Structure 1
């Protein structure tokens, strides 16, 4: 597996190696020993999957507050998405900054987003299936979010606000400036 840094420390792109021949390919998607040695020694407890029918579907920006804070390992198993992480760790030099990676079934890449980051994505083509492993169980009492197009974040989404397809929940989230602090980060 290849590991690529993003513009946000701790958010990492993972490119699994594909073994190809005339029949197709084989990919080892996850190895606990490799993940522990190269990223974090954590345990995934739940795996989620979403289907988004149209291009321009936006899901996010979401996170789980403590005590159910989640790290996420995200991949797109059909189609392609513009995947986003935003640092919301108080005290971090990159607080409020975002990074993005295009995840696609064709490329097979993944994005590791640790606790303390918002996560969201926009579908780039119809019929996208996104799967992600998480480090804590979903808890509806800890479910939080930030407005996907908060102007203070300045995320360069590949869809206009008028064309984006959103849930009512995602369309009415708080702005980052109005969000209480849930995570802190001591710089080393």
Structure 2
């Protein structure tokens, strides 16, 4: 039995991974589960990582770059906090998950969803993302709309960390 655990920060990450990532990899795994580590204690997450190591489950640990200086530093912060995590399985989202949402909005979707166009989807944070939404929008509703109209091919061209995720990391865990 081949199982995959995807460590994610919160509900926006989960929504993205369920809608965009799961369909691309679900045939390679018997079971794909999500673990929202931001809602757990560090001890709970460490214990869970130890348990999945014993069970030989595959996993990916996803972390936003946020205000970290570089990806290497962010990966080291994860390692310092969670110890048993495999560095090669840590995926850093540049800058935040909202950048991956923004990357998949093509010209047609910008018009349809009335979202202001992003100039650089590699550097989108939550605040910038929200500023591009129509006034009085409910952010989570717009995120769902984006996912329903998401263009993954376009997104991979617009966001380096998303492309890296699909190119390298998923290949590594699928093996």
Q: Tell me if both proteins adopt one fold, taking TM over 0.5 as the criterion.
A: no
Higher helix share: 2
Higher strand share: 1
**Bigger relative contact order, structure 1 or 2, given CA contacts below 8 A and separation 6+?**
1
Q: TM-score, normalised by structure 2?
A: 0.25
Q: TM-score, normalised by structure 1?
A: 0.24
